[in-house]
Amino acid sequence: MSIDIDTARRVAKLARIRVEEDALPALADEFNAVLGFIEQLSEVDVDGVEPMTSVTPQRLKRRKDGVTDGNMQEKILSNAPDAREGFFAVPKVVE
Amino acid sequence: MSDLNKLTLSAARDGLRAKEFTSVELTESCLSAIEGAGVLNAFVHNTPEIAREQAKAADAKLAAGDAPAMCGLPIGIKDLFATKGVPTQAASAILEGFKPEYESTITSKLFDAGSVMLGKLNMDEFAMGSSNETSTYGNAINPWRRGNEDSELTPGGSSGGSAAAVAADLCLAATGTDTGGSIRQPAAFTGIVGIKPTYGRCSRWGVVAFASSLDQAGPMTKSVRDAAIMLETMCGHDMKDSTSADLPVPNFEALLTGDIKGKKIGIPKEYRIDGIPDEISKLWDDGAAMLKDAGAEIVDISLPHTKYALPTYYVIAPAEASSNLARYDGVRYGHRATLAEGEGINEMYEKTRAEGFGHEVQRRVMVGTYVLSAGYYDAYYNKARKVRTLIKKDFEDAFAAGVDAILTPATPSPAFGLGEVSDSDPIQMYLNDVFTVTVNLAGLPGISVPAGLSATGLPLGLQLIGKPWEEGDLLNIAHSLESSAGFVSKPEKWW
């Protein structure tokens, strides 16, 4: 499996990370190095093996589905790069 | 009394209770050590006001005879832990200026137990790295040097600042986190003790997430006894982390009997990898001989899927990271890029993340995005999860055959020079974790114990791997190894 420049561009787009056109070839090379390393996994026979979902076999704790926290709008907004009138502010999303 | 900063947790605890000195004196000693060690770049946000206040409160408790386990003991906190009102950046530019409105469960527990926070410690960005070179704060420097050379060495990573700070006696102990070896490798590189407990022992709530199925916090200390003391404080069930285990936490220190007679210690043949330096092989053999002399039985074991651990890790960890780090989008906290006229929300995301994430973080997020993308999910991600099952089964088989713990080297080399491992060859850097990463994939407890010096005069560590939830037994075996190895070297002060 070899990653070309188009794939590198597509992955960067999916990851929402801007990568300039001239940086794409080097990025594709790095992907190929990492994926080449990962490729060893194809040697392993995993027939009938379950993919791991939880490393410690424990039932997750449950609790009543109720509100246990809240009323901290100011705290939640305190670190926002742009907060206005009690909301996170972002550039216009819908025209 | 001078040099209080050089004490272990246990010696300082006993000294405080015997009224030989106060927590304020102990804390001042650490604060001046930190002031004089700026060149190590271990502490990146200092909190002397908080420290002095906590020390005073601790002294009051000590005077009242009402002192909890860590009362008055000054420690450093890895920058990955959310600390209320104190910068918490995960060593990333994308969290520049972030001051949490809440306290992580682990730091809450440490403070409730009376610990004094000296400040936040350097690390690799989002804990992604093995040399602390991906930090937005710049490199942390290892207090150890090769012989008389003055070239700067890495303290390891990702908990590099924690390791450097403890080794240089800037604090009595520090918190670390370990996703693929990030406590144990830096501990080995700096001649200190580091334990990653069983997955689920320590709450991950308030710890900036890297790879949630692998991340665990643990203490980095000057002795195994200190690791036992601090780990006990850090462990315990937390409703805020659904993967935290609701199991009783033993008094780990009380389990340090030093008696390991009849314990079966496995030596996995697959860890004897090509290219490992002779001095590391010898250290490993010596460690096995020490445990044998102490009454343990040494048995050869096989962990056949070992060689697939790193490639498995480099699918699972980036996949989880790409998902966890999606939250850094410039909306709720941290950095937001300045937009040009006409640019919209997608440009905001893309520019923010390009500016805020460093190179290695970007690379891992994108690799993770790729292995999770349509058409590759089965080939990479599901395949890796299946191999992970097999890696865990290797350990289960060994434990089922009666093995109590497994002895391996902690790292394939002593600390290397900063800049020696090229950024353009990620695989070479990843190989640092070859002995530690299996433990995260299997969710097991693992501890690194300093056991000797390299020919160049640098510390070398051995790793012991234990059964799930058996940190007590593991610490006791490590305690025996520590006593036999008798590692007492300290870096000569040059900073």
Mean pLDDT of chain B: 97
Contact A27 B366 (CB under 8 A): yes
**b/e code A37-57 from CB counts within 10 Å (16+ = b):** bbeebeebebeebeebeebbe
Q: Which residues pair with B300 in a beta bridge?
A: B267
Given CB atoms, is A67 within the 8 Å cutoff of chain B?
no
CA–CA separation, B296 and B316 (whole Å): 36
B460 contacts: CB under 8 Å, gap ≥ 6: B188, B279, B280, B283, B409, B410, B411, B414, B450, B451, B452, B453, B454
Task: Tell me the two tokens of residue B461.
Answer: 């560590």
Tell the residue number behind the tokens 């902690």, with chain if given: B410
**Closest by Cβ to B344, choosing from A31, A79, A91:** A91
Given CB atoms, is B339 within the 8 Å cutoff of chain A?
yes
Question: In the 8-state DSSP scheme, what is residue B4?
Answer: G
Contact B389 A51 (CB under 8 A): yes
Cβ count near B279 (within 10 Å):
17
Q: What are phi and psi of B53, to 5 degrees?
A: -65, -45
pLDDT greater than 60 at residue A1? no
Looking at residue B427, its pLDDT comes to 82
Q: What are phi and psi of B264, to 5 degrees?
A: -100, 120
What residues does each domain of chain B span? 1-495
Q: B165 vs B119, B143, B175, B185, CA distance in Å?
A: 11, 9, 11, 15
Q: For residue A6, give how far its alpha carbon lies from the nearest alpha carbon of chain B (Å).
A: 13
Looking at residue B275, its pLDDT comes to 84
* Residue B244 near residue B238 (C-beta atoms within 8 A): yes
CA–CA separation, B343 and B351 (whole Å): 10
Given CB atoms, is B213 within the 8 Å cutoff of chain A?
yes
Residues of B in contact with A51 (CB under 8 A): 382, 385-386, 388-389
Looking at residue B281, its pLDDT comes to 96
Contact A17 B353 (CB under 8 A): yes
Given CB atoms, is B336 within the 8 Å cutoff of chain A?
yes
Which of B232, B235, B267, B178 lies closest to B462 in space, CA to CA?
Answer: B267
Rounded mean pLDDT, B2-11 = 95
Is B159 part of the annotated catalytic residue set?
Answer: no
Given CB atoms, is A71 within the 8 Å cutoff of chain B?
no
CA–CA separation, B330 and B124 (whole Å): 21
Rounded mean pLDDT, B259-268 = 98
Which of B474, B492, B464, B457 lies closest to B184 in space, CA to CA?
Answer: B464
Q: Which helix (H) or strand (E) holds B298?
A: strand B297-301
Contact A30 B363 (CB under 8 A): yes
Which among B199, B331, B399 is the top mutation candidate for probing chain A, defined by the most A β-carbons within 10 Å of its own β-carbon? B331
Looking at residue B425, its pLDDT comes to 77
Looking at residue B269, its pLDDT comes to 97
Catalytic site residue from B108, B131, B135, B182: B182
Residues of B in contact with A75 (CB under 8 A): 101
Cβ count near B27 (within 10 Å):
28
CA–CA separation, B63 and A64 (whole Å): 43
At A95, the pLDDT band (50, 70, 90 cuts) reads: low
B330 contacts: CB under 8 Å, gap ≥ 6: A81, B336, B337, B348, B349, B352, B353, B356
Contact B332 A75 (CB under 8 A): no
Cβ count near A33 (within 10 Å):
17
* Residue B482 near residue B470 (C-beta atoms within 8 A): no
At B163, the pLDDT band (50, 70, 90 cuts) reads: very high
Q: For residue B1, give how far its alpha carbon lies from the nearest alpha carbon of chain A (Å).
A: 43
Q: Report pLDDT digits (tens) over B197-228.
A: 999 999 999 999 999 999 999 999 999 999 99
Positive or negative: CA dihedral B2, B70, B203, B446: positive
Given CB atoms, is B314 within the 8 Å cutoff of chain A?
yes
Given CB atoms, is B235 within the 8 Å cutoff of chain A?
no
**Closest by Cβ to B392, choosing from A34, A55, A60:** A55
Looking at residue A56, its pLDDT comes to 87
Read off the pTM.
0.97
Q: Report pLDDT digits (tens) over B279-303.
A: 999 999 999 999 999 999 999 999 9
Q: Report pLDDT digits (tens) over B231-242.
A: 999 999 999 999
Task: Tell me the two tokens of residue A25.
Answer: 């070839």
Tell the residue number behind the tokens 């989008």, with chain if given: B329
Given CB atoms, is B247 within the 8 Å cutoff of chain A?
no
Rounded mean pLDDT, A69-76 = 94
pLDDT greater than 80 at residue B21? yes
CB-count burial class (<10 Å; 0-12, 13-18, 19+) for B21? middle
pLDDT greater than 90 at residue A92? no
Tell the residue number behind the tokens 């510390």, with chain if given: B459
Looking at residue A59, its pLDDT comes to 80
CA–CA separation, B393 and B119 (whole Å): 40
Q: Report pLDDT digits (tens) over A12-50.
A: 999 999 999 999 999 999 999 999 999 999 999 999 999
Strands B193-196 vs B216-221: parallel, antiparallel or unpaired: antiparallel
Is B158 part of the annotated catalytic residue set?
Answer: yes
Cβ count near B32 (within 10 Å):
12
Is the model more confident about B25 or about A58?
A: B25
Rounded mean pLDDT, B307-332 = 97
Query: B1-495 sits in which CATH class?
Result: alpha beta
At A93, the pLDDT band (50, 70, 90 cuts) reads: confident
Let me know the angle formed at the C-alpha of B58 by B55 and B63, rounded to the nearest 5 degrees.
125
Looking at residue B1, its pLDDT comes to 54
Rounded mean pLDDT, B240-269 = 96
Contact B390 A37 (CB under 8 A): no
Q: Tell me the H-state helices in B250-308.
A: 278-293
Three-state secondary-structure class, residue B450: strand
Q: B282 vs B24, B268, B276, B460, CA distance in Å?
A: 44, 15, 10, 11
Rounded mean pLDDT, B362-384 = 95
